[in-house]
Structure 1
Amino acid sequence: MNENIKEKLLVEAEEDDASSAEQHPSCPHGPTVLFYRQSQTTADGFFACSAHRNPKLCDFRMNRLDWNGNQLPRCSKVLAYPKTNCTHDLDPTSHLVALSQDDVHAQYFFDENALRFFADQCQALEISKVICMGAPRLHFHLRRNKNIASFLLDFDDRFGSYLSPNEFCLYNMCNNHFFYARQPFEDFLKCDQNESVLIVTDPPFGCRTELIAHTLRSLMRLHNKINGLPVTPLAIFWVYPYYMANYIKQDMPELQVCDYKLNYTNHTRYTNVGASRRCHGSPVRVFTNVPLQLLRLRIDEGYKYCESCKRFTGVENVHCNRCDNCCAQNGQTYRHCTICDMCVKPNYVHCPSCRRCSQVEGHNCELYQSKQLCWLCGHRGHVESNCLTWSQLRHKRKIHTHGCLICGQKQHTERNCKQRGRYFKESQFMGQTTIALRKH
């Protein structure tokens, strides 16, 4: 795929219950993904490999209109499970050379503190089964715990030589494709009333969040179908950098970010040891649908309990009474901007044009505003002063140019204006807010 394409590419994954005529064509890495540019319809799109962005690694590409459903043979097939040399106490991640091609695997292993963090959460949440999706070292760590069963789903076929089919399957998380027989995994998902399942996924940070979110929802549906449950969510720990929060929230708005900083043993930047460690710690976090109040972070690792938030946070995080939250995310102590009426990074300055605080160097107002979420209509791509939805009311009332655009006061922004309800109807579902203009 051409990484130089500037226009945003949208993706569409294959549905679990699609008929044979509706299914996507497959490459050797499982069902492909439908890509299309934002200005096009799906009929103008093309199918390409879900696992490899580099065409040198997988050159499969097919125009959408050339796909005739099941008339074209599918390339992928169920593979035979390799001969296993099981050694229960052996952790191959301690001696295997990590696959380091970022376009494909980006294989990094959690450090001991991160492993202990996940084990602590399993104990606090009374988790009995863990699906380790792209987290091999965690699987080998948990399998030594007699109270927790673990199943590894991973794109590295080398683990098939160390694990039996009852705890490993060669797997593509970008399209939810099982290369080996899926039955052992389905058996693992069968639970009694006292068992609970957690999914821990650590995808390469270059993965499309739409695809990972689609896979997580597919695994939830499979779990519910096997156990005869209604729409019941599974606990999720999605490991990703904090600065990808907007992308994850677009696809899974129910996920919140935990303040725990994860480190890897073999990453040059996402670590807390060595000369290349970051001064504010690793940017890698855990996004989860588990209430943050239920998670336990260790004080001896640099965390504290906030009585106001009723959750653990970093020692550098200072509770803001105005925001009623511990707002810092990047390991610094945030400050509250009275103009934005929100907490920002300490080195940020306020831009009157953007109506936000931002970095001083490299700040381009047009580009910055195109990535912002409007506090009036809730749509991304503009700030409040350029909101077309709000401009619909201009002929009905005087529009304020200073302070809050709704009431004109300078003590708050449109997000916190008490008069919002007169003009906007808001509803929330699973952490996502939908805003509509009221008809007057």
Structure 2
Amino acid sequence: MFDSKSDKLLIQAEEEDAAGGEQHPRCEHGPTVLFYRQSQLPRQGYYACSAHRDSKLCNFHLPADQWNGQGPGTEPEEREYPSLPGNGSNPALSDPTLSLTALSQDKVNAQYFFDEAALNFLAEQCRVLGVTKVVCMGAPRLHFHLRHKLQSFLLDLDERFAGYLGPGEFCLYNMCNNHFFYNRRPFEKFLDCSNSEHLLIVTDPPFGCRTELISHTLRSLRRLHNRINQLPSTPLSIFWIYPYYSANHIKQEMPEMDMCDYRINYTNHLRYTNVGRQSRFCGSPVRMFTNVPLRLLRLPLEEGYKYCQDCDCYTAKENLHCSRCGTCPSVNGQTYRHCDHCDTCVKPNYVHCPSCRRCTQREGHTCSFYQSKQHCWLCGEKGHIESNCSKFRNSKLKRTKDKGCLICGKHNHRERRCNHRRKYFRELHFMGETSIQCL
């Protein structure tokens, strides 16, 4: 597949087109995804498997210009739910994830199971929020932890769980394209809620999944829930478990999602835990992203969290509130510090580079390369810093020396927070994105 940094990704829509045909061809894992480069038209790309990024696992490959709505890649028949002895019949069923061999394909179905603390944390948030139903999407251990406390339904790509759960609790499912391999009517029945019931989706995708695909699936499930319950466009509570370094990707797809500071640990991953010699020095990088207001969540004080009165939410003890930024800025478990030159909080090991007008890593820093990855604080575009901004040079604002703020010349702030900014720039905010125009 194309490199994710340069690819454009067209998502398979849930609905069929007006003629009733499929919009994308299908492989054995459901609807495929159309890949094409930024410099190409969609018809110059190709269709490939949504679940498997490795062609050795699924070698479906069809040039886009060869797809006409029929022919190769037609939809497979819906599978029958396996008739296995005793599935779903044991009310005292133990957790099979404690004995099953975890799947280990990192790019599609790697299984990393929550530890006991994470399970208790997620269950406690359900109690605090008054959740009565949970859809566990790719989170089997959580399902078995919750199923005796409240109603839970497991959507997972591991068919082995059909040997332990009946169709009222499990459906074989591809979260990358919202594809149900079994009859989905039992799941739709689960989504049918009374006025007193509150539904939550908890998803723990493989970290190699594209955020575009997962967000598309979450929006599709929300539409399905609203249609079944005859609701208008109503938000559906979501817990998305993912590394903190993917925050910008998630925010770009779903601007309503905020990151909770709680660190999710796994029992069978050396790096995503706070125990063992190979664990990260700041603990697991895995967090919970949610559209639930953070002030409603309760992080356990005994595990190293505190309540920040200024932010009105719980955060890590190491995450000190910055009155200048007006937030608790740390995302990785370190205590950030405010840099007066950058006018923002940065990692404690970063040093300020006058050439880049940013704090950067001490080693391996090349100014030209680093600046090509930055967003300009003047025009907002990526690829340059403020002193190299063509829009700035062509605007009415004429400043040639890089001393302090380029707009007003003062040293106690940078261009992002300058009181004179509105004289020269107009900012438009829509759906979590900002466009900047020079006046």
- The TM-score with structure 2 as length reference comes to 0.94
What is the rounded CA distance, in whole Å, between the counterparts of 1:265 and 1:319 in structure 2?
31
Question: Residues 424 and 435 of structure 1 are in contact (CA less than 8 Å); yes or no, is this contact kept in structure 2?
Answer: no
What is the rounded CA distance, in whole Å, between the counterparts of 2:271 and 2:43 in structure 1?
42
Find out whether 1:253 has 2:251 as its counterpart.
no
Three-state SS of the structure 1 residue aligned to 2:287 is: strand
Find out whether 1:116 has 2:123 as its counterpart.
no
- Note the C-alpha offset of 1:397: 4.0
What is the rounded CA distance, in whole Å, between the counterparts of 2:315 and 2:97 in structure 1?
30
Q: Of 123, 130, 136, which aligns to 2:134?
A: 130
What is the rounded CA distance, in whole Å, between the counterparts of 1:76 and 1:387 in structure 2?
53
Task: Give 5+ residue unaligned stretches, structure 2.
Answer: none
What letter matches 1:128 in structure 2? T
Three-state SS of the structure 2 residue aligned to 1:238 is: strand
- Note the C-alpha offset of 1:387: 2.8
What's 1:67 paired with? Answer: 67
What is the rounded CA distance, in whole Å, between the counterparts of 1:409 and 1:76 in structure 2?
65
Find out whether 1:34 has 2:34 as its counterpart.
yes
What's 1:408 paired with? Answer: 409
Q: Of 354, 361, 364, which aligns to 2:363?
A: 361
RMSD: 1.7
Give CA-to-partner distance per residue, 1:48-98, whole Å, 9 cap, x none.
001111111111111111100135451433111112422333211111010
What's 2:9 paired with? Answer: 11
Give CA-to-partner distance per residue, 1:284-336, whole Å, 9 cap, x none.
00111111111100100110111111111111111111111111111111111
Three-state SS of the structure 1 residue aligned to 2:108 is: coil
- Note the C-alpha offset of 1:424: 2.4
Three-state SS of the structure 2 residue aligned to 1:239 is: strand
- Note the C-alpha offset of 1:429: 4.3
Question: Residues 107 and 207 of structure 2 are in contact (CA less than 8 Å); yes or no, is this contact kept in structure 1?
Answer: no
What letter matches 2:32 in structure 1? T
What is the rounded CA distance, in whole Å, between the counterparts of 1:241 and 1:111 in structure 2?
16
Question: Residues 354 and 365 of structure 1 are in contact (CA less than 8 Å); yes or no, is this contact kept in structure 2?
Answer: yes
What letter matches 1:8 in structure 2? S
Find out whether 1:300 has 2:298 as its counterpart.
no
What letter matches 1:120 in structure 2? E
What is the rounded CA distance, in whole Å, between the counterparts of 2:292 and 2:383 in structure 1?
30
What is the rounded CA distance, in whole Å, between the counterparts of 2:248 and 2:322 in structure 1?
22
What is the rounded CA distance, in whole Å, between the counterparts of 2:130 and 2:143 in structure 1?
17
What's 1:102 paired with? Answer: 106
- Note the C-alpha offset of 1:7: 6.3
Give CA-to-partner distance per residue, 1:219-277, whole Å, 9 cap, x none.
11111111111111111111111111111111112111110001000001111122222
Aligned pairs for 1:116-265 (under 5 A) are 116-145=120-149, 148-265=150-267
What letter matches 2:299 in structure 1? L
What is the rounded CA distance, in whole Å, between the counterparts of 1:130 and 1:124 in structure 2?
14
- Note the C-alpha offset of 1:130: 0.9
Aligned in 2, Cα 1:195/1:391: closer, same or farther, shift over 3 Å? Answer: farther
Aligned in 2, Cα 1:379/1:236: closer, same or farther, shift over 3 Å? Answer: farther
- Note the C-alpha offset of 1:361: 1.3
Three-state SS of the structure 2 residue aligned to 1:70 is: coil
What letter matches 1:260 in structure 2? Y
What is the rounded CA distance, in whole Å, between the counterparts of 2:344 and 2:354 in structure 1?
15
Find out whether 1:419 has 2:423 as its counterpart.
no
- Note the C-alpha offset of 1:149: 1.2
What is the rounded CA distance, in whole Å, between the counterparts of 2:21 and 2:368 in structure 1?
44
What is the rounded CA distance, in whole Å, between the counterparts of 2:357 and 2:211 in structure 1?
29
Question: Residues 173 and 179 of structure 2 are in contact (CA less than 8 Å); yes or no, is this contact kept in structure 1?
Answer: yes
What letter matches 1:362 in structure 2? G
Query: Aligned pairs, how many?
Result: 433
What is the rounded CA distance, in whole Å, between the counterparts of 1:14 and 1:208 in structure 2?
13
What is the rounded CA distance, in whole Å, between the counterparts of 1:378 and 1:414 in structure 2?
11
What's 2:320 paired with? Answer: 318
What is the rounded CA distance, in whole Å, between the counterparts of 1:163 and 1:406 in structure 2?
63
What letter matches 1:48 in structure 2? A
Fraction of identical pairs, as percent: 60
Find out whether 1:437 has 2:425 as its counterpart.
no
Aligned in 2, Cα 1:82/1:388: closer, same or farther, shift over 3 Å? Answer: farther
- Note the C-alpha offset of 1:153: 0.7
